[in-house]
Chains A and B, each alone.
Chain A
Amino acid sequence: MNKPSTQQAILVYTLLGIALIVFMTPIYLIASSSVKPSPIMFQKPPAMIFEPTLDHYRDLFAMRPFGKFIGNSLMVALGSTAFSVFFGSIAAYAISRIKHKRMNDVAFWILSMRMFPPIAVVVPYYIIFKTVGLLDTPIALIIVYSTANIPLTVWLMKGFFDEVPTALEEAAAVDGHGLISIFWKVTLPLAAPGLAVSAVFCFIFSWNEFLFALMLTGSNAQTAPVAVMSFWSSDAVQWGRIMAGSFVILIPGVVFVLTCQRWLVRGLTMGSVK
């Protein structure tokens, strides 16, 4: 794989340029429309230079309780992340260290839990949460999101724990440390990047989720994506407001891509790509 020749380089840059324009335009549209005055929202050709306005954001946060929905989203995402990372990590440690031929099946089972279609279980969830009075509470969403987040954490953290050399744990055991002490002082600090990556994935998943949030919450525990969607169905379409809300929602994901893209492969491909 040598360096491409000049002609090849030109071809590569041209094709990539087209791809970047196609893939970046929608994101640019969200950002620009969120600060575009409503009258020129659909002006053609699109106004590239205009006086940006914060009206839509003001409308979003001052006139409407969007701050509350963001708060709900944060609470649900952070709650589910903390819950999933804690229980997922210790489970991953057990799976990583127990050498038993059935352990693989347990791992398979846990991983497959993440892949089931949400729509197939949303009705039972609805009925169950309604019965126990948790409908339209953040707790319901924290529990539901953990269903997807725990398998993800287990799977990611197992990989990280597998990479901690067992000799380190044995050295600590010979020196007289118990398992909890070994796990807490030796293994976990060494798998710290894994904790960070798992936490970020759990957070983004919970933050972005729509279907469960739509079905299981009402006015009280509604999350930001559902709220933004509701701007659409209300009397007149307020694109400026929708785009401002969308922009706020897409920030964490974009920050994540820009800061830790090297972990994306691991997190998203379930081990099918190293």
Chain B
Amino acid sequence: MSEITLRNVIKRYGAVEVVHGIDLDVEEGEFVVLLGPSGCGKTTTLRMVAGLEDVSDGNLSIGETRVNEVAPKDRGVAMVFQNYALYPHMTVRQNMEFALKPLGLSAKEVARRVDEIANMLGLSELMARRPAQLSGGQRQRVAMGRAMVRTPDVFLFDEPLSNLDAKLRTQVRLEIAKLHNRLGTTVLYVTHDQVEAMTLADKIVIMRDGHIEQVGTPEQVYSQPDNMFVATFIGSPPMNMIPAQVRERELQANGLALKVPPRFEGRLAEGQSVTIGIRPNGLSLAGAEMPNAAPARVEVTEYLGNEALLDLRVGPHELIAEVPALGRPAPGTEISVQFDPDAIHLFDTETGASLSR
């Protein structure tokens, strides 16, 4: 009923193409997050689904129906805007009622629906207030309430948490997750914050420059990135990237030589340019004689509590390692850093594509 399907969807503004033929399936009841840096086309994609932007080319369906030409109100969607878009001159109750007005319901039914949602979101005490009299978190909930009263088939969220402070963001994130578990409505959610994406999504869609870079579960995009962009975009601090060459079953980078991990055997050509990717927690301190170790100099240490981040210099390369905070080396010390062969990702330097598959 409420799955969303995009087939070769293109968005142009005049001669400028900003979304380049994307394909995407959002299953019924799924929580899908569009994630990417600003300007990647994620919000434009969401707005096309909402009907606020025209689809220049391709097919957009909700349920069985092609909706390219369907007006927003007839798509069965509700949207939560980045700045909430609450009507400042209306009370919370009026805001929610206004969303129901076009449905032509009886006054009783309107009141019943509004009260039900208000109860669910804990807004009952605030119904007579205006948006200006609400805190950021409360506004956010009113915006969700206004979207929910229409009992849409699909919820669209456009960076709904970006205006909240860090603590509130965590809290509202949890509330959204709970609501989704309870209502089971299909959700398409846009954000540039990977933590939001990782914690909320059933499926993450990573976009860049109007292309989809990877679609997958949070685990997949983190542990099996399809390409260098996804690898560096997901995870914080980002994955270390070291350009290298394949020589005699070794990955040779300037001042560094690692054995090709067994799972890459036979996939690499002699002399091929590859990029070694390794997350900071794939690096550890080791004795100098261990295999896959390299001498390194600690430039800066950043103490985080349980862990510490080490800014290392290995030959010409700058790497970040995440190590237990206890017993971390002091800045300036020469140490030996070990590369966990299981944590190594390899990418084709030319195309950026992962060589793991």
Interface flag for B66 (CB, 8 Å)? no
Q: A165-B83, A167-B82, A167-B83 are in contact. Are A174 and B89 (CB under 8 A)?
A: no
Interface flag for B103 (CB, 8 Å)? yes
Q: A173-B52, A174-B50, A175-B102 are in contact. Are A190 and B88 (CB under 8 A)?
A: yes
The answer to whether B89 and A189 touch across the interface, beta carbons within 8 angstroms, is yes
Q: How far is the CB of A160 from chain B (nearest CB, A)?
A: 13
The answer to whether A168 and B101 touch across the interface, beta carbons within 8 angstroms, is no
Alpha-carbon gap, A177 to B98, bound state (A)? 9
CB-nearest residue of chain A to B149:
A175
Tell me the chain B residues, 163-213 only, with Cβ under 8 Å from chain A.
none
Inside 8 A of B83's CB, which chain A residues have their CB?
A: 165, 167
Interface flag for B85 (CB, 8 Å)? yes
The answer to whether B101 and A177 touch across the interface, beta carbons within 8 angstroms, is yes
Q: A174-B50, A174-B52, A176-B103 are in contact. Are A190 and B89 (CB under 8 A)?
A: yes
**Dominant SS at the B interface?**
mixed
What is the size category of the interface that chain B forms with chain A?
20 to 34
Q: A174-B52, A174-B77, A177-B102 are in contact. Are A165 and B85 (CB under 8 A)?
A: yes
Inside 8 A of A175's CB, which chain B residues have their CB?
A: 73, 78, 98-102, 146, 150
Q: How far is the CB of B283 from chain A (nearest CB, A)?
A: 45
Inside 8 A of A189's CB, which chain B residues have their CB?
A: 89
Interface flag for A170 (CB, 8 Å)? yes
CB-nearest residue of chain A to B81:
A167
Inside 8 A of B101's CB, which chain A residues have their CB?
A: 175, 177
The answer to whether A176 and B81 touch across the interface, beta carbons within 8 angstroms, is no
Q: A165-B83, A167-B83, A167-B85 are in contact. Are A174 and B98 (CB under 8 A)?
A: no
Alpha-carbon gap, A264 to B146, bound state (A)? 38
Interface flag for B222 (CB, 8 Å)? no
Inside 8 A of B233's CB, which chain A residues have their CB?
A: none
Encode contact with B along A144-168: 1 for CB under 8 Å, 0 otherwise.
Answer: 0000000000000000000001011
Encode contact with A along B43-82: 1 for CB under 8 Å, 0 otherwise.
Answer: 0000000111000000000000000000011100111011
Interface flag for B87 (CB, 8 Å)? yes
The answer to whether A168 and B87 touch across the interface, beta carbons within 8 angstroms, is yes
Q: A167-B81, A167-B82, A167-B83 are in contact. Are A174 and B72 (CB under 8 A)?
A: yes
What is the size category of the interface that chain A forms with chain B?
10 to 19
Inside 8 A of B86's CB, which chain A residues have their CB?
A: 168
Q: How far is the CB of B12 from chain A (nearest CB, A)?
A: 15
Inside 8 A of A190's CB, which chain B residues have their CB?
A: 87-89
Tell me the chain A residues, 175-189 only, with Cβ under 8 Å from chain B.
175-177, 185-186, 189
Interface flag for A27 (CB, 8 Å)? no
Interface flag for A196 (CB, 8 Å)? no
Alpha-carbon gap, A175 to B102, bound state (A)? 7
Q: How far is the CB of B228 from chain A (nearest CB, A)?
A: 35
Counting chain B CB atoms within 10 Å of each CB, which of A170, A177, A190 scores highest?
Answer: A170
CB-nearest residue of chain A to B100:
A175
Q: How far is the CB of A181 from chain B (nearest CB, A)?
A: 8
Counting chain A CB atoms within 10 Å of each CB, which of B51, B52, B85 scores highest?
Answer: B85
Q: How far is the CB of A14 from chain B (nearest CB, A)?
A: 44
The answer to whether A170 and B85 touch across the interface, beta carbons within 8 angstroms, is yes
Q: Which of A165, A170, A173, A185 contacts B98 (CB 8 A)?
A: A185
CB-nearest residue of chain B to A169:
B85
Alpha-carbon gap, A260 to B138, bound state (A)? 34
CB-nearest residue of chain A to B77:
A174
The answer to whether A173 and B89 touch across the interface, beta carbons within 8 angstroms, is no
Interface flag for A143 (CB, 8 Å)? no
Encode contact with B along A83-102: 1 for CB under 8 Å, 0 otherwise.
Answer: 00000000000000000000
Q: How far is the CB of A146 from chain B (nearest CB, A)?
A: 29
Alpha-carbon gap, A175 to B136, bound state (A)? 22
Q: Which of A167, A174, A186 contacts B73 (CB 8 A)?
A: A174
Inside 8 A of A172's CB, which chain B residues have their CB?
A: 87, 98
Alpha-carbon gap, A189 to B103, bound state (A)? 22
Q: How far is the CB of A174 from chain B (nearest CB, A)?
A: 5
Interface flag for A171 (CB, 8 Å)? yes
Inside 8 A of B89's CB, which chain A residues have their CB?
A: 189-190
Show the binding face of B for A, using Cβ within 8 Å: 50-52, 72-74, 77-79, 81-83, 85-89, 98-103, 146, 150
The 3 A-B pairs of least Cβ separation, nearest first, read: A176-B73, A176-B102, A167-B85
Show the binding face of A for B, using Cβ within 8 Å: 165, 167-168, 170-177, 185-186, 189-190
18 A-B contact pairs sorted by A residue (CB < 8 Å):
A165-B83, A167-B81, A167-B83, A168-B86, A171-B81, A172-B98, A173-B73, A174-B73, A174-B79, A175-B99, A175-B102, A175-B150, A176-B102, A176-B103, A177-B73, A177-B101, A190-B87, A190-B89
Q: A173-B72, A174-B51 are in contact. List 11 more A-B contacts (CB 8 A).
A: A170-B79, A170-B81, A171-B79, A171-B87, A173-B52, A174-B77, A174-B79, A175-B102, A177-B101, A185-B98, A190-B89
